[in-house]
């Protein structure tokens, strides 16, 4: 197992891509801290991991709550002595163009999609730096490298994640810490509901994907989990500051 006994924190891992990522990390031997604000969802993920013989712990908190995030990281360090992997995945879509998006929605998008990633990385960095090793993976989106119609809050936040990832990688590579970003495309989870509604419903989004994505279909979460494993493991040991786009080819059209 390529992550044997590594300590991994995965935020937003109560469902969807986050859950799939947590499960594959545990399958490869990591002890996974499943972070989600929904207790039932977090416990379901840890249950699935345990049922497969893996090791996981649920941490129920809102990652935009600074003190809760700080307490969680301190608790993991106190109990395990280190953090080897941080996957900042928690996020949300907020729809609307410049005039239509609410200020509250824009702020929520920024705080969840960018600021919480920044703070979690800031909190784990001293422990990683002191050991001279560590991996941080930030989830951006294909929306971080292209334009999404009437999604200014979301695309702004996801472009920012890429810039932040590159900056972290440049600043901390000399300490043996790697930082990369994952940019998933269309993955069939409820996360996309705001955009699906904005596009006029499921039939419209299905047509959009057939027309815009060269592979002509949604991704399954398992197809994103494998790239996550690659990026947080030693399989990508000479890779930092990079953006891995997994989008069925949409961004090359």
The residues carrying an active-site annotation are: 154
65 Cβ contact partners less than 8 Å away, ≥ 6 residues apart: none
Measured CA to CA in angstroms, residue 71 lies from 7, 135, 164 at distances of: 16, 20, 23
- Measured at the CA of 182, the angle between CA 77 and CA 252, to 5 degrees, comes to 175
Strand order in the sheet with 55-60: 55-60, 31-36, 7-11, 85-88, 134-139, 177-184, 243-246
Token output for 199:
């596009």
Residue 214's CB: how many other CB atoms inside 10 A?
12
């Amino acid at each position: 197992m390529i992550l044997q006994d590594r300590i991994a924190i995965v935020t937003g891992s109560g469902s969807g891509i986050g859950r799939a990522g947590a499960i594959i990390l545990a399958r490869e031997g990591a002890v996974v801290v499943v972070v989600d604000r929904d207790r039932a969802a977090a416990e379901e993920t840890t249950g699935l991991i345990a049922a497969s013989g893996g090791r996981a712990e649920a941490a129920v908190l809102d990652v935009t709550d600074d003190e809760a995030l700080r307490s969680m990281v301190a608790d993991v360090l106190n109990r395990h002595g280190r953090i080897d992997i941080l996957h900042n995945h928690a996020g949300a879509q907020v729809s609307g163009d410049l005039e239509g998006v609410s200020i509250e929605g824009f702020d929520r998008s920024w705080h969840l999609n960018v600021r919480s990633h920044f703070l979690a990385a800031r909190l784990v960095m001293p422990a990683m730096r002191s050991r001279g090793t560590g991996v941080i993976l930030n989830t951006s989106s294909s929306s971080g490298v292209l334009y999404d119609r009437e999604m200014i809050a979301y695309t702004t936040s996801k472009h920012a994640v890429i810039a932040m990832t590159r900056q972290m990688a440049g600043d901390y590579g000399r300490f043996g810490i790697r930082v990369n970003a994952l940019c998933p495309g269309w993955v069939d989870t409820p996360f996309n509901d705001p955009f699906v509604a904005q596009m006029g419903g499921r039939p419209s989004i299905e047509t959009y994907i057939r027309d815009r994505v060269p592979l002509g279909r949604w991704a399954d979460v398992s197809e994103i989990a494998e790239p996550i494993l690659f990026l947080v493991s030693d399989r990508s040991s000479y890779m930092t500051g990079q953006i891995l786009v997994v989008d069925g080819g949409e961004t090359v059209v």
